[in-house]
Amino acid sequence: MDEQGWIVGGRLAAGRAIGNAFGTVAADVASYRPRSHGTWTTAAGLDLEVSVGGHQVMSEFSCFVPSGRARTTHGAYVQDAIPFRSLGGFARDVFGTVRAEYFQPAAGTAGVGGLLGVFWRPRQWVVVRADYLFANRTLEELQPGFHASIALLF
């Protein structure tokens, strides 16, 4: 399928250091209109990140407004990355993760979940992650169970 059309969007972000803490807030929006019909599909989000005391707290709210009469979907999460470096040795590159999330799909009841996990960064370019997601239902965006990954960053 050849989807041609227009996409327009942008992101505005601001950050500030206060003592040993640093925070950012950002808003973004993008809209797409295919040539085949003249209605716009829009996605928007608002996110916040705060780094303080070795913790990295992140949160986001996002919504998706489809073209036509389809229902809007939206979701949100808040997450904390907890450093284990005070334990010394191997743990200096290990972080715990705690997350709560919510997702309202276009149809059906909302999904609510919580995540407990750990990630290890043995090198700047390698991240090994394992976590377990608890959820009240299974959705494409909310898959309960054990998850693991290895990421190579370059």
Query: What would the pLDDT profile of 58-111 be if each residue is shown by its tens digit?
Result: 999 999 988 777 789 999 999 999 988 878 777 888 999 999 999 998 888 888
Domain endpoint, select from 70, 92, 115:
70
Please check whether residues 104 and 82 belong to one and the same domain.
yes
Does the pLDDT value for residue 2 go beyond 70?
no
Please indicate, yes or no, whether residues 86 and 126 belong to a single structural domain of this protein. Answer: yes
Q: Which of 43, 70, 97 is the last residue of a domain?
A: 70
Whether 16 shows a pLDDT value over 90: the answer reads yes
Q: Report the number of distinct structural domains present in the chain.
A: 2
38 with 101, same domain? no
- Residue 89's domain comprises 71-154
Asked which of 50, 70, 90 is the last residue of a domain, the reply is: 70
User: Which pLDDT score, from 0 to 100, does residue 11 have?
Assistant: 96
Shared domain for 100 and 138, answered yes or no, is yes
Do 37 and 3 reside in the same domain of the chain? yes
pTM for the complete prediction? 0.79
Q: What is the pLDDT of residues 98-153, one digit of tens each?
A: 999 999 988 888 889 999 999 998 888 999 999 999 998 887 777 889 999 999 99
Looking at the structure, do residues 101 and 89 belong to the same domain, yes or no?
yes
For 118, the token pair is: 């750990």
Q: What pLDDT is stored for residue 63 in this prediction?
A: 95
Nearest to 75 by CA among 95, 39, 101, 106: 101
